[in-house]
Chain A
Amino acid sequence: MPIDRRTVVHAADLARIALTDAEVERFTGQLSVVLDAVARLAEVDTSAIPPSASTLPLRNVERDDEPRPGLGAEEALANAPRGGRDGEFFRVQEVLQER
């Protein structure tokens, strides 16, 4: 199942990964090979197998609606990258919505 450059560029864009033209070229070939390998699953006859969203033999796993304390701000913010904390907030680069 060969994929084209456009699909690779689109996927990279969705994942926010910057690719050079050379990389796009290389990954287009590599990803086609990966997809071909996975596509072999299509050769299996699944006509007698019901569709399933999960492979786990479990259903209706739930918990009670009981609040419990979590990490608290200090511990949570300890994971912020350098410069990524501003008081009690995580600080990130602005994402412009309005154009």
Chain B
Amino acid sequence: MSLPYETVIGVETHVELATRSKMFCPCSATWFGAPANSLVCPVCLGLPGALPVPNRRAIELAMTAGLALHCEVPAHTKFDRKNYLYPDLPKGYQISQYDLPLNVSGWLALDTPDGPKRVRIRRAHLEEDTATSKHGEGYALIDFNRSGVPLLEIVSEPDLRSADEAVAYVQALREILVFAGVSEMRLEEGAGRFDVNVSIRFTEDGEVRWPPQSEIKNLNSYAAIREAVPHEAERLWRSWRDGGELRMRTGKITVGWSPERRETFLQRSKEEVEDYRYFPDPDLVSFTPSRETVERLRASLPELPGDRRARFARVYALSDYDARVLVADRALADYFEAAVKASTRDPKQIANWVTGEVRRRMKDAGDGAGVPFPPEQLAALVELVASGEVSGSAAKEVFGDMWTTRRPPSEIVRAKGLTQVSDEGAIAAAVDAVLAENAKAVADYRAGNARALGALVGQVRKRTGGKANLSVVNRVLAERIARGEATR
């Protein structure tokens, strides 16, 4: 059933940049899990007289993100103070960028069920993160470790039309930023947060109506976006239909999302409209990106996920699914490509290992674990299977051994005696013996019971110690039975 209104969505994404130190001071930016208030200095504590100095790497990462999102780099940019009072903001203002952001007017390509779509990016600017708070009964505990960590805020135009599309957008955005090395964007560590602007548009009395939006603040997971967006859109629709608050107001409101109660709640109404009194930060000087820097960053931009997926499908003849799974993880995609380069076999065979066993093992090993052996060894294993030296099932065993012992596959095959017997003579002898002993199964098979063949194959395998090459066994069996038929 289709809704009586269209949902119009724009997303503001905050991501922490992958720097080692903070935005304006040399304190470590690796705040997650650090003892409270251990990574602080006069600058990020907002002590009087402390002076901020921008982190070059943070600026370059922010520019890299802009280039990956097809943004324009302005001739000049600067930092401004955004003034508001809150316990997690020690200076009483946040250093951000107001009218001259580092990146403007970009776009991101999105695959939607209705075909490809471009989501326009209005701007992407640099700012500093706030401290973290833990809330108690009537008080809050503040930890300034996160205060001053570089943050990139990426603002989309209201080009998204459903919660699913919004989620697809943030997933695509995350993929690009992780690929470009801009951010690790670990959502579970709060390194990516979303403010989602939701409004509804509909026709009433022959007129298109588009009442003011709600901004849902601080969503931190895809699941939260998926739930909060339709909830708020429906709330807005009911409010309009029942003559509620939406009929009265002329500006946007800010709401929060309670995952426990699964509903939004009002944070700030129009009367308390934000008044940030932005002005240029007098402690910081303006910034003019040089041509050389821009070109250097552009040149070092890696191939982006969408392009890489298309190339994988085209060059390696992979399915869309395989290309997607591989490209979802840059390290995995690089590993796959290195293994393909080291192999003369069909890349699909390499892909099967990487998307299957390799990924499964990596998942079991936990976060951050890589493949314990070089890609050339995976290529060697594929070669052993493709040449018929080991069977598919034995190859799995070899793979498991490679993972734990890191020994080359050929060595494991030799040590464990896993070489499969492909020698026709040996297999034919076994087949003849089995046929002689299993006249009934042969007769059953001839009578049309195809399953009887399986039993015969099993017998041959057993006779050869499980090492007979199955494709040879099948062929020889079929030949012998057919010949037996002919000579009868």
* B38 beta carbon closer than 8 Å to chain A: yes
Instruction: Tell me how far the C-beta of B405 lies from the nearest C-beta in chain A, rounded to whole angstroms.
Output: 37
| CB-CB under 8 A for A90 and B26, given A59-B285, A62-B56, A62-B59 | no
| CB-CB under 8 A for A56 and B285, given A70-B25, A90-B37 | yes
Contact with B along A55-99 (1 / 0, CB 8 A): 010111111111110111100110100000011111111110111
B19:A65 contact, CB within 8 angstroms = yes
**Which chain A residues lie closer than 8 Å to B290 at the CB level?**
60
Instruction: Tell me how far the C-beta of A78 lies from the nearest C-beta in chain B, rounded to whole angstroms.
Output: 11
A67:B141 contact, CB within 8 angstroms = no
Q: Which of B62-117 contact A (CB under 8 A)?
A: 78, 83, 85-87, 100
| CB-CB under 8 A for A62 and B40, given A53-B78, A99-B265 | no
Stretch with Cβ within 8 A of A (4 or more), from B132-140, B348-356, B396-404, B447-455: B132-140
Output the residue of B37, B267, B282 with the most chain A CB within 10 A: B37
**Which chain A residues lie closer than 8 Å to B286 at the CB level?**
52-54, 59
Instruction: Tell me how far the C-beta of B454 lies from the nearest C-beta in chain A, rounded to whole angstroms.
Output: 63
| CB-CB under 8 A for A63 and B138, given A56-B285, A70-B41, A71-B40 | no
**Which chain A residues lie closer than 8 Å to B139 at the CB level?**
86, 91-94
**Which chain B residues lie closer than 8 Å to A76 at the CB level?**
37, 40, 45, 144
B26:A63 contact, CB within 8 angstroms = yes
For the complex, give the distance between the alpha carbons of A91 and B86 in Å: 13
Instruction: Tell me how far the C-beta of A63 lies from the nearest C-beta in chain B, rounded to whole angstroms.
Output: 5
Instruction: Tell me how far the C-beta of B474 lies from the nearest C-beta in chain A, rounded to whole angstroms.
Output: 61
**Which chain B residues lie closer than 8 Å to A72 at the CB level?**
38, 40
**Which chain B residues lie closer than 8 Å to A40 at the CB level?**
none
**Which chain A residues lie closer than 8 Å to B138 at the CB level?**
93-94
B282:A67 contact, CB within 8 angstroms = no
Interface size on B, as a range, is: 35 or more
Q: Which of B227-275 contact A (CB under 8 A)?
A: 256, 258, 265-267, 275
B54:A53 contact, CB within 8 angstroms = no
* B16 beta carbon closer than 8 Å to chain A: no
B78:A67 contact, CB within 8 angstroms = no
A68:B21 contact, CB within 8 angstroms = yes
Contact of B285 among A60, A71, A90, A94 (CB under 8 A): A60
B267:A64 contact, CB within 8 angstroms = no
Stretch with Cβ within 8 A of A (4 or more), from B3-11, B28-36, B188-196: B28-36
Instruction: Tell me how far the C-beta of B300 lies from the nearest C-beta in chain A, rounded to whole angstroms.
Output: 16
Chain A residue nearest to B39 (CB atoms) is A70
Output the residue of A14, A53, A59 with the most chain B CB within 10 A: A53
* A6 beta carbon closer than 8 Å to chain B: no
Q: Which of B116-142 contact A (CB under 8 A)?
A: 134-142
For the complex, give the distance between the alpha carbons of A61 and B21 in Å: 16
* B468 beta carbon closer than 8 Å to chain A: no
* B143 beta carbon closer than 8 Å to chain A: yes
**Which chain A residues lie closer than 8 Å to B284 at the CB level?**
54, 61
Chain B residue nearest to A64 (CB atoms) is B56
A63:B56 contact, CB within 8 angstroms = yes
For the complex, give the distance between the alpha carbons of A91 and B141 in Å: 5
Contact with B along A37-50 (1 / 0, CB 8 A): 00000000000000
B141:A86 contact, CB within 8 angstroms = yes
For the complex, give the distance between the alpha carbons of A15 and B84 in Å: 8
Instruction: Tell me how far the C-beta of B170 lies from the nearest C-beta in chain A, rounded to whole angstroms.
Output: 23
Instruction: Tell me how far the C-beta of B132 lies from the nearest C-beta in chain A, rounded to whole angstroms.
Output: 10
Chain B residue nearest to A84 (CB atoms) is B142
For the complex, give the distance between the alpha carbons of A99 and B59 in Å: 38
For the complex, give the distance between the alpha carbons of A94 and B42 in Å: 24
A60:B288 contact, CB within 8 angstroms = yes
| CB-CB under 8 A for A61 and B141, given A88-B37, A89-B134 | no
| CB-CB under 8 A for A89 and B142, given A54-B280, A59-B286 | yes
- Interface of A toward B, CB cutoff 8 Å: 10, 14-16, 52-54, 56, 58-68, 70-73, 76-77, 79, 86-95, 97-99
Given contacts A10-B275, A86-B139, 15 further A-B contacts (CB under 8 A): A53-B100, A53-B280, A54-B282, A60-B285, A62-B54, A63-B55, A65-B56, A67-B26, A71-B42, A72-B40, A89-B134, A90-B142, A91-B139, A94-B135, A98-B267
Can you offer 10 A-B residue contacts whose CB atoms are under 8 A? A53-B78, A66-B21, A67-B27, A72-B40, A73-B35, A77-B37, A88-B38, A89-B142, A90-B142, A92-B142
